[in-house]
Structure formats: C-alpha cells, structure tokens
Amino acid sequence: ETGVTQSPTHLIKTRGQQVTLRCSSQSGHNTVSWYQQALGQGPQFIFQYYREEENGRGNFPPRFSGLQFPNYSSELNVNALELDDSALYLCASSLKAGAYNEQFFGPGTRLTVL
Amino acid sequence: GQQVMQIPQYQHVQEGEDFTTYCNSSTTLSNIQWYKQRPGGHPVFLIQLVKSGEVKKQKRLTFQFGEAKKNSSLHITATQTTDVGTYFCAGPVDGGGNKLTFGTGTQLKVEL
C-alpha cells in the first residue's frame, strides 16, 4: 500500500448539496494532486497543491475548490453538486511537484450524486 | 488541448498470449508514466520513461518511449491472470510538473 489515505470511502449526496473529501498524503510528501475518474474513463486532473498553495488547475469549474494544511493533508470541496459529479475521486501525493516525481495514489472516494 | 489516446480500448487474451497497448500524445512529452488499475482499485505506478527511444523492462513487461517523445507502448509477454486490469499511460499536463494527463486506458482481460 502507498500510505495515502482518503475518507470517506463512499458517499451518497443529492444534487445541489456540497461535499468535502479528505486525503492524507504519504509521510514526507508535500504535494497532493486530485483527480476525478468517471466510470470507464481515465483520471482527469482537477488541481494540485504544493506547500499549501494551489499549483495548477485542470479544466474544472470554480465550484471545485481545495485546501492543503500545514501537515500536507488536503481537502477537496465540491459545491452545488451535479449528477455528472458522480465519480471516483482520487488523491495522489508526491515528494515534490517536479516533472519526474512519481505519484502515489490513495484508494479513492466513490461519490454518487442522486 | 493536450490529448492522450490509447489503443486498443479493450483486449481479451488467453493466458500465455502476448499483449500490447499503444499510447499516443497530441504533444511532445518530457516523460511518460505507466499505471495499472485493477478492477475496483486505484492506479498504481509501474514505470517512468524519460529519454527519446528509451526501453525499459520489468520481468514480462517491456515499456518503450518513441523517438519523437509523443508515443509509447507497453508489451506484456505470456500474460497471466494477475495481469488483469486497465493500463494507463500518462504525461505531464501543459505547464509541466508532475500533474498528469491520463490516456484513455486499455482494459486487459485474461482467460484461462
């Protein structure tokens, strides 16, 4: 196992609600990236946090927001949930944000929006 | 925007047969990574290729990075049931760093 943990493992919400997903990075890792993986597709990059600052964002609307804490754990917040937000949300931590740094994925949070 | 495509989308093989998945990027990549995702699991890092024309082997798996650094392949020799899963290639998103654009994936099923 990678040492990256995520909570909760599963979540069911209704359209319009808000959700917060949590990720604890592997010990010593200061970079956390979040990805959305719809069923049958590859993970899509949402954003990355490096030393508590956002370090790049994918093509996701502002209702997707995040935080990184001093211990490098991270949260992903999604407001005004839509049906299409149903997906597996993965966080990945790495030692640094540089191009050649391997990412270690957590087990994911399965979000279902009804 | 940057796109990373993989073919085939699905592959069904008999145990012992070989398997290859191909990855093509619309842009030149500084490096390419390969991940394996078992059914119900999360992506697990397999390898990173950096140099043009690079070839790396891990037991029955052979990874290749194209000369133009826009394509890559993964070849598995003599597949086993433990090889079942979806194989993704991934390259850095526009802007660099280790933020990744994942390919569309190839789902491998292995029958006894």
Q: Chain B within 8 Å of A70 (Cβ-Cβ)?
A: no
Distance set, CA A1 to CA A21, A105, B41, B50 (Å): 20, 9, 11, 25
- Give the burial class of A94: count Cβ atoms within 10 A of its Cβ; 0-12 exposed, 13-18 middle, 19 or more buried: buried
The predicted pLDDT at position A1 comes to 66
> In sequence order, what are the beta bridge partners of B91?
B101
pLDDT of B55 over the 80 cut: yes
pLDDT of B69 > 80? The answer is: yes
pLDDT of residue A99: 64
pLDDT band at residue B19 under the 50/70/90 scheme: very high
Query: Chain-centre distance of CA A45, in angstroms?
Result: 9
Residues of chain A with pLDDT under 70: 1-2, 99
In chain B, the residue whose alpha carbon lies closest to the alpha carbon of A1 is B44
Q: How far is the CA of A54 from the CAs of A60, A105, B91, in angstroms?
A: 14, 19, 20
Residues A96 and A84 sit within 8 Å (Cβ to Cβ): no
Taking CB atoms and an 8 Å cutoff, what residues of chain A touch B88?
42-43
State the average pLDDT for chain B: 95
Chain A residues near residue B31 by CB distance under 8 angstroms:
99-100
pLDDT of residue A2: 67
**Inter-chain residue contact A56 with B104, CB threshold 8 Å:** no
